[in-house]
Structures are given as structure tokens and as C-alpha cells.
Amino acid sequence: MKPSLAKGTRDFTAQEVSRRKYIINVLQNNFELFGFQPLETPSFENLSTLTGKYGEEGDRLIFKILNSGEYASKVNQEDWDHKNHQKLIPQISDKALRYDLTVPFARFVAMNHGKLTFPYKRYQIQPVWRADRPQKGRFREFYQCDADVVGSESLLQEVDLVQLYLKSFSDLKIPVTIHMNNRKILSGLAEYAGITDKLIEFTVALDKLDKIGKEGVVKELLEREISQESIDKLEFLFNQSDDALENLLQLKEKFAGNEIGLKGVEELEFVLTQSMNLGVDMQNLVFNITLARGLDYYTGAIFEVKADEVAMGSIGGGGRYDNLTEVFGVKNIPGIGVSFGLDRVYLVMEELNLFPEEATTQVEYLFANFGGEGTIEALKMIMQLREKGISAELYPENAKLNKQFTYAEKKGIKNLVFLGEEEIKNGTVTYKNLEAAEQKTVSLEEFLG
């Protein structure tokens, strides 16, 4: 059998694992600096927990898990013969791999709200799965790094999450732009154009503007039975200026008497103004009126982060989802959260050559194996180095020195250590720095520092 990987998945080499850990450590450190606490949830949930939370398109991308045992024998034969998928799925699958970290988090909050202290701030770094079509920067299995706060309606949370994004990407040296919108503005636009009953169809199409362009969006809106008259009223969406506050002013005029739209403008204006007051450069913060993120659960602010110097989709996103726990029977727990796409962040850093040398795990010392008494002495010294937090290993066989040199070079080990009879007798250590091609003999005390 020829070995192969499942589409949309990857193996990670030592260097890749080390670099991913570097990114995770930066994010984890910032999450904790901002007061978030860690949480982990199971890799799969009840299918009913996940369905209906991601919109029509998202539901199609949920990886279902077949029931164990003789599930096929219990399936209604008529549904099977007619390939009636809607009726078949509940009969053959009642669990699914998690699609994101937000819905499992909402389920956790709903189950434990009596024990939690609100506002409750949590971060979560775990893999998620989507039955998506694999392409550059898009995988079927990938990590999300989320930070959410629930139990507060304060818009200062939005301001704080802007700071969290900017500090984290600054620490990773990635120049980014945060695109922002507000779901209430989108609802206001639907009301303004007289298509309130088509809000989801409108936002799903609008969200694709950067992929399919204006013509593609208009075509999709017409296909979704949105009239040309309504589309004409929304023409201004495709001609926004670079000045966020000027665009908000224009909206205020169009939204006269439109309560929900004006509320969205007011909320976004607050977040932008307060961020500027904290010294955020408006070049890093963009009001993107076409940003919709086609998820059913956002009710307020929407965020999307894009890397400035790499052509790739978003490397982070999130928003406010005031009603998410309500579907689990728990009301009045507002929430807001952001997510960092670890895999895309990795690709951006790789493309821009941003990984520091310490992001790659390397063995500091390889002890050459000469056999005999020297082997035990080398192992004793390796133990002492490891106790000091210095990585070291012994070449396992008494092989030709040339072979041991080659091993060290291929593994990227910095120093090759020689502990022969002469060194043991004199209490010294000889080591060669393979990068600088320099060899030194020093006392045992000096070597162990």
C-alpha cells in the first residue's frame, strides 16, 4: 500500500513544530497579559450542538462522524433508497468534529454559567475541522487560537481586542490591517434597501466582494431574488472613501430614522475613536462596509485581520455574538471574541522570513562516541548539561568520526564534543563549533559553566 495523506491535512517536521510553538507562545503570553484564562473542549461535539450556528454554507462544511456499531441496519430503507440526506444524517450520525472554538465555548458557558465569574475571559488553542476544498492557506484540519469574553456589553471589550490583535501581530513582526464592520450596519443597509427578509442572503453575497468583485456580488444578489431597485440603492457600498469616519458620516445621513443602522454606526464610531485615542494608527484600522463574515451568530462588531505584505485571506477574525448562548437555553450572556489563524500566520511569517533563530529547536552539543570508559563519562556530562537546561545527546554507536560529523551537520547540531582518554585524564573537554569551524579545549569546570 502506498502511504498518502488525507487531503487538506499535513505532517509537521521538527522545524515546523518548533516554529508553530513559537507563534503559540507569543499568542498565549498576550492572551494571559490581557487577562484571559485557558480552556479546552472535546474534539467532537453532538451534531445538534453545531448545526444551525454557521449559516447554510457553514453547515455543509461540518465533518460528521458515523455512529459506531450496526448503525446502517437501523436506517429507514426508504430514506436510503431515495438518498434523502436530510433524513439520513440524524440516523447515521449524531456527532461531528468541531467546526470552530466559539460554539463549543458557548456550549461550555451555557452548561457552567452558574459556576463562572462574569465577565468570563477565556482563550483556547486547539485544532478544528472543516470539510472545505483545500487550497493555499486553507486546510481541512487547522488550529484556531481564540480569545473570548462573555458577560459584558461594554464596547471597551472591542477596543481591548483591537489592542490584543495589534500587540500580538506587532510581537510577531507582521504588519497588519484590521478590517472592521458592525452587523447592525448590515441590518440597517438591508432595511434601507427594503430587503430585511433577505438579510442573510445579502450578507453572504456581500462578504464575497474581494473574491468575486462587484459584478459577481450583483449577479449573486439577483440570483437570490433581490431586486435591481434594491441593488441600485446599495450602489454606494462599492465606492467607499479611505476615510472611515467620513464613510460613517455618509451612513448617518442615509440611516435617518433607521434605528438599528444608526446604533451600528454609533458603536463602530466609538470603537474607532477610542482606538485612535489610544494611539492606534488609522492606517491599521479600516472600516470595511462590505465585510460581512457570513456567520449567523454575529450581532455587533465584526473583525477581520489581513497581512499587509502577503496575498492571502484573513489571518484573524471575530466579532460580537450577543445571542449565542440563547440557543442552549441560557439568555442574557453577551459575548465577543477574536480568533487567530495559526496556519495562515505561519505561512505569512515563512513568506516574509520573520521566524527568529530561536524558533527552531536545535541540539546544542553532540558527544562523539569513542566507546569504552569515555561513553559513561560523556553520559554523566550530558546529564549535568541537561540539568542546566542545555540540550545534549550522545551519538549511539562507536562509528567512524566522519559519520558522526555528518550526523551533526545534517541535524543542525551546533557543537561536536570530544571526550577521549586524553581529556578524561586531564579533566578537560574538546569541542568543535561546526558553524564557525573553530575547535577549543577547555577545563571541565569552564565547559559546564
Within this chain, do residues 138 and 207 fall inside the same structural domain, yes or no? yes
**Residue 96: pLDDT band with limits 50, 70, 90:** very high
pLDDT at 430: 95
Instruction: Look at residues 328, 351, 374 and tell me which one is the last residue of a structural domain.
Output: 351
Q: Residue 163 belongs to what H/E stretch?
A: helix 156-171
Note the pLDDT tens digit of each residue in 116-157. Answer: 999 999 999 999 999 988 887 678 999 999 999 999 999 999
Angle (CA) 60 341 332, round 5°: 70
pLDDT at 138: 78
Task: Indicate the DSSP class of residue 225.
Answer: T
pLDDT at 263: 96
Place of cell 467607499: 240
Task: Indicate the DSSP class of residue 135.
Answer: B
Integer Rg of the chain from CA: 28
With a pLDDT cut of 90, the percent of the chain lying above it is 61
**6 assigned to some structural domain:** no
Do β-strands 176-182 and 64-65 pair in parallel, antiparallel, or remain unpaired? unpaired
Selected residue with higher pLDDT from 174 and 297: 174
Task: Indicate the DSSP class of residue 102.
Answer: H
Tell me the one-letter amino acid at 379: L
Q: Domain range spanning residue 430?
A: 362-448
Selected residue with higher pLDDT from 207 and 143: 143
End-to-end alpha carbon distance in the chain: 52
pLDDT at 304: 94
* Helix (H/G/I), strand (E/B), else coil: 391: coil
What DSSP string describes 287-356?
E-TT-----TT--SEEEEEEESSS--S-SEEEEE-TTGGGGGT--S--EEEEEEEHHHHHHHHHHTT---
Q: How far apart are CA 379 and CA 374, in angstroms?
A: 9
Angle (CA) 361 364 367, round 5°: 130
Place of cell 527552531: 360
If one counts the domains in the chain, the total is: 2
User: In the numeric block, which cell numbers belong to residue 286?
Assistant: 479600516
**43 assigned to some structural domain:** yes
pLDDT at 232: 85
Within this chain, do residues 299 and 390 fall inside the same structural domain, yes or no? no
pLDDT at 121: 97
pLDDT at 205: 85
Closest to 151 in 3D by CA, of 184, 115, 113: 113
**94 assigned to some structural domain:** no
Do β-strands 176-182 and 301-307 pair in parallel, antiparallel, or remain unpaired? antiparallel
Note the pLDDT tens digit of each residue in 342-389. Answer: 988 999 999 999 999 878 878 999 999 998 888 999 999 999 999 999
The binding site for L-histidine consists of 100-102, 130, 144, 148, 293, 297-298
Within this chain, do residues 314 and 389 fall inside the same structural domain, yes or no? no
Instruction: Look at residues 351, 385, 419 and tell me which one is the last residue of a structural domain.
Output: 351
Q: Is the alpha carbon torsion for 262, 191, 325, 64 positive or negative?
A: negative
Asked if the model's pLDDT at residue 85 lies above 90, the reply is no
Instruction: Look at residues 285, 320, 351 and tell me which one is the last residue of a structural domain.
Output: 351
Note the pLDDT tens digit of each residue in 25-75. Answer: 999 999 999 999 999 999 999 999 998 888 788 889 999 998 876 655 655
Note the pLDDT tens digit of each residue in 234-274. Answer: 888 888 888 888 889 889 988 988 999 999 999 999 999 99
Within this chain, do residues 152 and 200 fall inside the same structural domain, yes or no? yes
Note the pLDDT tens digit of each residue in 283-294. Answer: 899 999 888 875
Within this chain, do residues 303 and 443 fall inside the same structural domain, yes or no? no
Q: How far apart are CA 384 and CA 189, in angstroms?
A: 68
pLDDT at 97: 97
Q: How far apart are CA 397 and CA 405, in angstroms?
A: 13
How confident is the prediction for the chain on average, in pLDDT? 89
**Residue 188: pLDDT band with limits 50, 70, 90:** very high
Q: How far apart are CA 193 and CA 157, in angstroms?
A: 31
CA distances, 45 to each of 8, 122, 147, 159, 310 (Å): 21, 19, 20, 32, 35
| Beta bridge partners of residue 180, listed in sequence order | 287, 303
**380 assigned to some structural domain:** yes
User: In the numeric block, which cell numbers belong to residue 423?
Assistant: 581529556
**76 assigned to some structural domain:** no
Place of cell 456580488: 217
> CB-hemisphere CA count at 13 Å for 167?
18
CATH number at residue 399: 3.40.50.800
Angle (CA) 354 356 358, round 5°: 155
Q: How far apart are CA 266 and CA 184, in angstroms?
A: 10
Closest to 373 in 3D by CA, of 419, 324, 431: 419
**70 assigned to some structural domain:** no
pLDDT at 398: 93
pLDDT at 116: 96
pLDDT at 230: 86
Long-range CB contacts (within 8 A, 24+) of 27-32: 27/123, 27/125, 27/145, 27/168, 27/340, 27/342, 28/123, 28/125, 30/164, 30/167, 30/168, 30/171, 31/123, 31/145, 31/147, 31/164, 32/123
The binding site consists of 100-102, 130, 144, 148, 293, 297-298
**5 assigned to some structural domain:** no
Within this chain, do residues 333 and 416 fall inside the same structural domain, yes or no? no
Within this chain, do residues 333 and 185 fall inside the same structural domain, yes or no? yes
Length of the chain: 449
Within this chain, do residues 223 and 325 fall inside the same structural domain, yes or no? yes
> CB-hemisphere CA count at 13 Å for 179?
18
pLDDT at 227: 85
Asked if the model's pLDDT at residue 82 lies above 60, the reply is no
Note the pLDDT tens digit of each residue in 384-440. Answer: 999 999 999 999 999 999 999 999 999 989 999 999 989 999 999 999 999 888 999
Within this chain, do residues 288 and 418 fall inside the same structural domain, yes or no? no
**275 assigned to some structural domain:** yes
Place of cell 548539561: 385
pLDDT at 162: 97
Within this chain, do residues 116 and 166 fall inside the same structural domain, yes or no? yes
CATH number at residue 163: 3.30.930.10
